[in-house]
Amino acid sequence: MNFKTSLTFAKEMDNKDPLKDFRNQFIFPSFHKNKMRYFTGNSLGLQPVTTREVIGEELDDWGRFGVDGHFMSRRPWFSYHEELTSMAADIVGAKEIETVITHSLTTNIHLLMVSFYQPKGKRNKILCEKKAFPSDQYALQSQLKFHGYTKDQLIEVGPREGEHLIRHEDIISAIEENKEELALVFIGGVNYYTGQYFNLKEITEAGHKAGAFVGFDLAHAAGNVNLQLHKWKVDFAMWCSYKYLNSSPGGVSGLFVHEKHAENNSLPRFAGWWGHDKEQRFMMEDEFYPMKGAEGWQLSNAPVLGMAAHLASLKIFKEAGMFRIGEKRDLITAYLEFLLEEVNKRHQGFLEIITPKNPSERGSQLSILFKKDGKEMFNKLTESGVVADWREPNVIRIAPAPLYVSYEDCWFFADILNQHA
Ligand SMILES: Cc1ncc(COP(=O)(O)O)c(C=O)c1O
């Protein structure tokens, strides 16, 4: 595609955008004196217009039915999570039996590590990416401690000296070099800081060849990049719904366990009554019989209001389809990158985009490293109504989320940089 720098070109792109009407399905923040341009769908996605209505329906049914709403409400709360399963499974390329919406993200990291981190003898190490999101690091460290180990059991693969990204071949060779000792490979599917999307298929293959389980934290991947968890034979994964999936602050999480483990009751797990065989749940028996598949990892009955917010958003994703979302993601991200590079040429290379250039190694996030005065530039953007994300020491992260960011928004962003560089 031959991009151009003019505002007219941006407007033409918006006119031709097959997803342009989806923008109207979201509420843009309006507290600023200027029109707001929202680039933080990688942190907290915008509120869909329908969220209030769907949550309102649950409040109405709670008022009308009280406890009987568990079976009498329009979407019975007893089986509420089932309303979401197939739409959520489609987003991550999973089967329904492999998917459940439940708990919060870090809770699910712990629950699945209980099952899939099983150190035995010298096979006790975990391989992860250096500078993983802090919650992942704390979860890994505390799981190691729980099993009586220390950080020495953690193999962290980082970028080479002077580089920002982690080379795929370095991850694969670290797996091969440690194949006798590796119990688990656990990586963030898309790195929160650089936006690097790892090759999950090949990492899974390498991990399995080494005799380890393989799992991914997909917080920055779900609803952003195209995933095929079932096909790639990933053992387990989890994600949050409040970033690219627009399902309310701190919203419910998704959990994936591959079908091959669906009936493996010998996997250790922390159990709760909602994971128990649903036909017998109310017999209140002492012994735990897990449901088949991902549902067997549920602890508690569903937080219906949070689930309702997720339901509202998943319907939008179903209508748009991950294929079309992916097409726009690649195009608008490449366009934004083009504009930034043009501004950069005009201003003696004042910035560096540290996110991979290759579309198959990124989603819709670009991380911009400023050579100097990044915070001042961030403040200028904020003053003009742009919502972006600042990360110390000198990085601005932006995500042109395909469902509601326009080409004109991207043009505006680059124009502010151009004015203040
Ligand atoms: C990659 C990653 N993992 C874990 C978390 C923690 O999520 P939660 O607070 O929902 O447990 C986040 C939050 O942003 C994240 O980005």
Which residue do the tokens 């915070």 mark?
A: 375
Ligand 1 close to Cβ of residue 61 (< 6 A) = no
Please tell me the predicted confidence (pLDDT) of residue 203: 98
List all residues 6 or more positions away from 265 whose beta carbon is below 8 Å from its beta carbon: 290
Which band of pLDDT confidence, cut at 50, 70 and 90, is reported for residue 280?
A: confident
CA of 247 relative to ligand 1 center, distance in Å: 14
Please tell me the predicted confidence (pLDDT) of residue 285: 79
Tell me where in the chain the CATH 3.90.1150.10 domain(s) lie.
7-49+321-420
Please tell me the predicted confidence (pLDDT) of residue 221: 98
**Surface-to-core class of residue 175, CB atoms within 10 Å of its CB (0-12 exposed, 13-18 middle, 19+ buried):** buried
Please tell me the predicted confidence (pLDDT) of residue 399: 98
Please tell me the predicted confidence (pLDDT) of residue 396: 98
Question: 40, 102, 105: which to mutate for ligand 1, most atoms within 8 A of CB?
Answer: 105
pTM over 0.95: yes
pLDDT in tens, 54-64: 999 999 999 99
pLDDT in tens, 59-94: 999 999 999 999 999 999 999 999 999 999 999 999
Reported in sequence order, the residue ranges of 158-261 that DSSP labels E, i.e. its strands, are 182-188, 213-217, 236-240, 253-257
Ligand 1 close to Cβ of residue 216 (< 6 A) = no
Ligand 1 close to Cβ of residue 192 (< 6 A) = yes
Structural class in CATH, domain 7-49+321-420: alpha beta
- Supply 271's token pair: 């159990």
Question: 131, 240, 247: which to mutate for ligand 1, most atoms within 8 A of CB?
Answer: 240
Quick check: 241 and 251 in contact, CB under 8 A? Answer: yes
For residue 157, the cross-strand partners are 129
CA of 309 relative to ligand 1 center, distance in Å: 18
- Supply 300's token pair: 């508690």
CA of 131 relative to ligand 1 center, distance in Å: 13
Residue 143 to residue 168: CA distance in whole angstroms: 26
Ligand 1 atom nearest to 242, measured from its CA: 10
Question: 106, 138, 198: which to mutate for ligand 1, most atoms within 8 A of CB?
Answer: 106
Please tell me the predicted confidence (pLDDT) of residue 166: 98
Indicate the CATH number for domain 80-319: 3.40.640.10
Tell me where in the chain the CATH 3.40.640.10 domain(s) lie.
80-319
Which band of pLDDT confidence, cut at 50, 70 and 90, is reported for residue 286?
A: confident
For residue 257, the cross-strand partners are 236
pLDDT in tens, 106-121: 999 999 999 999 999 9
For residue 352, the cross-strand partners are 369
pLDDT in tens, 8-54: 999 999 999 999 999 999 999 999 999 999 999 999 999 999 999 99
